[in-house]
Structure 1
Amino acid sequence: MLFNSYEFIFAFLPITFFIYFYLNSKRLTIASKGFLVFASLFFYSWWNIAYLPLILISMLFNYTIGNSLSKNDGENRKGLKKTFSNKSILVFGIVCNVALLAYYKYADFFIENFNLVTSSNVNFLHLVLPLAISFFTFQQIAYLVDSYRGETKEYDFLNYALFVTFFPQLIAGPIVHHKEMMPQFASSWNMVKNYKNIALGLFIFSIGLFKKVVIADTFAVWATAGFDTATTLNLFEAWATSLSYTFQLYFDFSGYTDMAIGIALMFNIKLPINFNSPYKATNIQDFWRRWHITLSRFLRDYIYIPLGGNKISSFRTYSNLLATFVIGGLWHGAGWTFVFWGFLHGMALIIHRIWSNLGFKMNTILAWFITFNFVNVAWMFFRAKEWDDAIKVLKGMVGLSGVVLAEKYNTIFSFLNNYGIIFDKVTGNIGDGSKSLIWIGFGIFFILFFKNSTEKSKEFAINNKSLFLTLIYFLSSILSLNQVSEFLYFNF
């Protein structure tokens, strides 16, 4: 079930909302939590009920490991003998989680590379990637590490199941911590309907729905045509393709996050901010403080810092940065293009750190321009199904596949024919003529000069203006729901 579908918007969400708060109004707290877990698992199973046993087994396993860590910690304080050390239990838990993720997500990738290196012919497993496995695995690894550190104690499986499965953030994040979620569900104030939260939630949800349905899905047409259909791309087609994907990914994922935050608010739950206008960043470190913030937090706290962070030597710091982002790239997908994308960002962060340590500074506009274009170029490897797809777009972006100008300029600039410039349809290979270029101009203006949903939520007030904007966003999105499309991060 998708957030941007009729069955979710007009059936699942309102039914779940009213039953949850009805049970709470009768002071049936355990029943309300149980119902919310059931509804979340139903939501998860909508795509394929075969996914359900996997997430249930994963939850039960990690709940048991987390409780073992808490029990061992208590025995340690009492001076009792322990069968296994907490570190051994933690390592076992993490290894099992990573092994599960590796089996489903990377088995065929490993087989492919094994066959390539050894000239073998091992058959592929052709496993279907379970929905959200990357997100709920990382979230539960964070829970185990927090339990090991004594920051989390959970003795109630129902509470733990709610923490993992809460449907607004289950499929594609944000990646949340137990300590920032469960106190909210335990608060008696959050068990009654809060009409300001409902209004604000609907407002943010409508913004996210508009981002996905009206903006991201429009850019998707040109990005798909450029990457997957066109055999060659001229200069303008290549730039239109790359920028279309850059904006598609942003509006798709930030749209999902807005919808998740908005839905959770209707249930009086505040999810962490996951986006903060990342395309306004003026350096790559600033970008990662703004883009997919909860993933950046996870990579920092559970990979970069345990590797040593920046506490040892400059060389180790740079090695840790690179390793962290290569792992982050691999987390996104089982392919060398994802690894290379992570490598590019790791190298960019190393260069930025060296630049900053040397005390160099740069003009703000130039810094933004370089950062944005680096991110845009790196996304080509993130999007490409094969290396050749990324190379095709990059060749076009530097003019190696030709330059095409509009036919109407032929009479004025005909002398350019001598330099290999052709006068024809500028973006004929990706469709819609110059419409894509107009939308890209709109996209740049939107990301630079519009307030993001977090900033808008701080100014929110229940009045006619907010009602009008909510209706505009919502109705224009509903009228555009001609073809329901998945969110891009569902693939990761």
Structure 2
Amino acid sequence: MLLKLILPLGISFFTFQQLSFIIDNYKRRNLKKYDFLSYCLFVTFFPQLIAGPIVSPEEMIPQFENKKNKAINYENMSKGLYLFSIGLAKKVLLADSVSPFVDAGFDKMTSLTFIEAWLTSISYTIQLYFDFSGYCDMAMGVALMFNIILPLNFDSPYKSTNIQEFWKKWHMTLGRFLTNYLYIPLGGNKRGELKTLRNLLIVFLVSGIWHGAGWNFLIWGGFHGISILIHRTWKNFGMKMPKILGWIITMFLINIFWIFFRANNIEKALKIIKGMGNINSLSEGISINYKMSIISILDNKISLAILILGIIIVFLLKNSIFKVNKFNFKVNSLIEQSFYLLGSILFLNRIASFLYFNF
């Protein structure tokens, strides 16, 4: 580890948020100087305080001060509860259900077989997707109940056909913050191609360190940065590839990069990657130790079925915000929402915090 410190929950998020307040006021981007009470509300609005989205004062404080937002809006409350229930179901029913596969692979002391390594990697890719997507939905849902609209932070990133598109859809407000307060001040793309590539790499290295003070996070950020540089250079030469091939390459890289994001150290990450490439162990299947590690309140076959269901949802269904925009008060919507809430409540005995609470 680069550093081993005990830090407050969500410090990286509210640090960036307060930085945006200070910098924006210093540069006088806002039309008026906000008072101390507005500042306090801006930095303590609880739905997005711990894990985002990272908001700016000009998009939040005017909403706090709008008198219309201080009255009860039953339509917003209904839509907010609906979005919250979708997010809760993503977290409890999907993300937490595949976590045994993830923990078994990353905690296994011996080498992993080909199937074990790929099952571990894909499971974490799906777990992180629904964990973070679920939190974003819940945060937006709770905020909407208070008549506050939070910026979209998650837009089906696994459907991306290149790494640049992925970062336009994953943790969108983090990308916006780093663009406005790091990439542009460094010169952005206005000082020649080489400096543009340098600036992009710096942004992704900072993004890695922002997620955690470990070499694995720095490597994760560096890999994404290098991938962005390659993609940009590829585009500059006018080269293209079929979208399906671009999607396959993008998902393969993202899947590999997430291993460094999850692993406690580089050695564990390399162990899993080695297993993913060890096709000679395909016939070994899944070891007894791995099977014993994934025993939980759910049958392993059910967990595997949920993993497959999660993959189908990720790639075939639209983002949940589209469902909310089409929400109505008909019986089928009520039944759907009840299913999400009741199903989640039944499995709330599995205590698991949101993964992004660690950052």
Q: Distance in 2 between matches of 1:139 and 1:361?
A: 38
Aligned equivalent of 2:291: 428
CA, structure 1 residues 439+427, in 2 after alignment: closer, same or farther (shift >3 Å)?
farther
> C-alpha displacement at 1:386, in angstroms?
1.0
Identity of aligned residues (%): 52
Q: Match of 1:232, SS? A: coil
Residue 184 of structure 1: which of 45, 51, 63 is its match?
A: 63
CA, structure 1 residues 483+436, in 2 after alignment: closer, same or farther (shift >3 Å)?
closer
2:253 maps to a residue whose letter is F
Work out whether residues 108 and 290 of structure 2, in 8 Å CA contact, stay in contact via their aligned partners in 1: no
CA, structure 1 residues 424+160, in 2 after alignment: closer, same or farther (shift >3 Å)?
closer
Residue 15 of structure 2: which of 111, 133, 137 is its match?
A: 137
Q: Distance in 1 between matches of 2:86 and 2:64?
A: 25
CA, structure 1 residues 328+424, in 2 after alignment: closer, same or farther (shift >3 Å)?
closer
Give 5+ residue unaligned stretches, structure 2. Answer: none
Residue 221 of structure 1: which of 83, 92, 100 is its match?
A: 100
Q: Distance in 2 between matches of 1:224 and 1:158?
A: 44
Tell me, yes or no, if structure 1 residue 356 matches structure 2 residue 235: yes
Residue 2 of structure 2: which of 92, 109, 132 is its match?
A: 109
Aligned equivalent of 2:217: 338
Residue 262 of structure 2: which of 374, 383, 392 is its match?
A: 383
Q: Distance in 1 between matches of 2:284 and 2:310?
A: 22
CA, structure 1 residues 228+154, in 2 after alignment: closer, same or farther (shift >3 Å)?
farther
For each residue in 1:398-429, what CA deviation from the matched residue of structure 2 results, as whole angstroms up to 9, or x when unmatched?
116722356xxxxxxxxxxxxxxxx9779636
> C-alpha displacement at 1:109, in angstroms?
2.6
Q: Distance in 2 between matches of 1:429 and 1:335?
A: 30
CA, structure 1 residues 405+441, in 2 after alignment: closer, same or farther (shift >3 Å)?
farther
Residue 393 of structure 1: which of 251, 255, 272 is its match?
A: 272
Work out whether residues 168 and 175 of structure 2, in 8 Å CA contact, stay in contact via their aligned partners in 1: yes
Alignment of 1:110-129 (within 5 A): 127-129=5-7
Q: Match of 2:283, SS? A: strand
Work out whether residues 104 and 290 of structure 2, in 8 Å CA contact, stay in contact via their aligned partners in 1: no
Alignment of 1:22-421 (within 5 A): 109=2, 127-152=5-30, 153-399=32-278, 402-404=281-283
Give 5+ residue unaligned stretches, structure 1. Answer: 1-107, 111-125, 407-422
> Normalised by the size of structure 1, how large is the TM-score?
0.69
Tell me, yes or no, if structure 1 residue 447 matches structure 2 residue 314: yes
CA, structure 1 residues 314+402, in 2 after alignment: closer, same or farther (shift >3 Å)?
same
Aligned equivalent of 1:49: none
Work out whether residues 281 and 368 of structure 1, in 8 Å CA contact, stay in contact via their aligned partners in 2: yes
Work out whether residues 196 and 462 of structure 1, in 8 Å CA contact, stay in contact via their aligned partners in 2: no
Q: Distance in 2 between matches of 1:338 and 1:429?
A: 30
CA, structure 1 residues 292+431, in 2 after alignment: closer, same or farther (shift >3 Å)?
same
Q: Match of 1:404, SS? A: helix
> Normalised by the size of structure 2, how large is the TM-score?
0.94
Work out whether residues 80 and 141 of structure 2, in 8 Å CA contact, stay in contact via their aligned partners in 1: yes
CA, structure 1 residues 249+424, in 2 after alignment: closer, same or farther (shift >3 Å)?
closer
1:335 maps to a residue whose letter is G
RMSD: 1.9
CA, structure 1 residues 424+331, in 2 after alignment: closer, same or farther (shift >3 Å)?
closer
1:196 maps to a residue whose letter is E
1:142 maps to a residue whose letter is S
Work out whether residues 427 and 434 of structure 1, in 8 Å CA contact, stay in contact via their aligned partners in 2: no
Q: Match of 2:101, SS? A: helix
Q: Distance in 1 between matches of 2:129 and 2:80?
A: 21
Q: Distance in 2 between matches of 1:472 and 1:202?
A: 13
Aligned equivalent of 1:93: none
Runs of 4+ in 1 over 3 A off after TM superposition: 423-440
> C-alpha displacement at 1:438, in angstroms?
3.8
Q: Match of 1:483, SS? A: coil
Aligned equivalent of 2:333: 466
Work out whether residues 98 and 304 of structure 2, in 8 Å CA contact, stay in contact via their aligned partners in 1: no
